[in-house]
Chain A
């Protein structure tokens, strides 16, 4: 790795082998034995070597030693344990202090990554409830539709459900949106909030009957805030209109019953 300041060094690069260099550092080379260009360097290194015998004053020594004894007697402090590196460092390991700018870059990259992940999760509707709600309302301000924590879009982002038979304004309130179909492998049908229909008009499940053992998956149960559509039924009615499920009122939003893509629902707003 070359830098501009090394250009001069590269241009003036007298030949000196590694062994000679080592002898210069160890103080084993006399100036007159060194290459001509390095005679002054050898003298400088030899003179600098004597800096290693610099003494401090006796009073300073006493004070430092007394302080050290006090520190040792008080036990290792946590601050010092952070500051002091372990005594045995593996060769070649890079334990130098992290410079400020790379650390800043690292923090910036972490922040950007966190924001990107949050936005992605928000679009997927996978953020925790309140956070999803906040993200939904924030994005709604810029016209981007993001599901809210009820599984719907932001208040202004009404998505008319496909196949809905409910007149607008009755069961489908402004907050109504669709949620993905819930499937419960195995038995019958588990539609939860999606199973509001007139008895007998459509059959669900393999046998077209909502059997008694059908369950509503807990995750399919929605908030049941039937503020506008009180008539939203949480009960599934099978083809005979006899056995209802749950009565959980699940999946009903503010405006009334919700509608799935394939099943027709209705809200009996009273």
Chain B
């Protein structure tokens, strides 16, 4: 959901602490943020999204820019929260949400037939998560976050050329995975 021309007034009201404006901003972006986080950490996506939105609230007084800038900024915060979360989890050396949980939904079979018949969101996200992390992140930001290459580069701190290479390799790898599973009995 885009706020369009009302974006500036909504942000101004949100800076003043108006609950309706904060709610508008949240509703406009949270589905995408939540989808992105859920595709990366299914078990903790809502907590991460909440933390990200609190960080947004802490910094919104200093925010200046357009609606696309705001989207990019919110996703950058969400990504940072995700990285922090993974870092903490690696220190704790526990994994409360194993990635196999979603992958269980991906049945090996005829990929072409699956493609034609339609593939579930969870299965597709699980397939993307089988990519190397940097490739998966680029694909998810492009598809779920619906950012272009330059925006993904900005969010991830990579160069646009690097992002293009990563997405190219990601697509090739996805095709290889699907092809390999298609021939697997």
Contacts and interface: CB of A to CB of B under 8 A. Distances in A.
A206 interface: no
A219 interface: no
Interface residues of B, number: 85
B121 interface: yes
A66 interface: yes
B176 A9 contact: yes
Nearest to B69: A87
A38 B125 contact: no
A39 B35 contact: no
Taking each of A16, A32, A40, A53, which has the highest tally of chain B beta carbons within 10 Å of its own beta carbon? A40
How big is chain A's contact interface, by range? 35 or more
Contacts of B176: 8-9, 12
A38 B27 contact: no
Given A65-B19, A68-B26, A75 B61 contact: yes
A105 interface: no
B150 to A, nearest CB: 6
A96 B26 contact: no
B54 interface: yes
Contacts of B178: 40-41, 44
A5 interface: yes
A97 interface: yes
Contact of A45 (B143, B153, B173): B143
Contacts of A67: 50, 53-54, 57
B26 A61 contact: yes
Contacts of A246: none
A79 B57 CA distance: 12
Nearest to B19: A69
B116 to A, nearest CB: 6
25 contacts: A5-B132, A8-B176, A9-B169, A12-B172, A14-B175, A24-B171, A25-B139, A38-B171, A40-B182, A45-B124, A47-B119, A48-B125, A52-B31, A52-B32, A53-B32, A60-B50, A68-B22, A68-B57, A69-B18, A72-B60, A72-B61, A76-B58, A76-B59, A85-B77, A87-B63
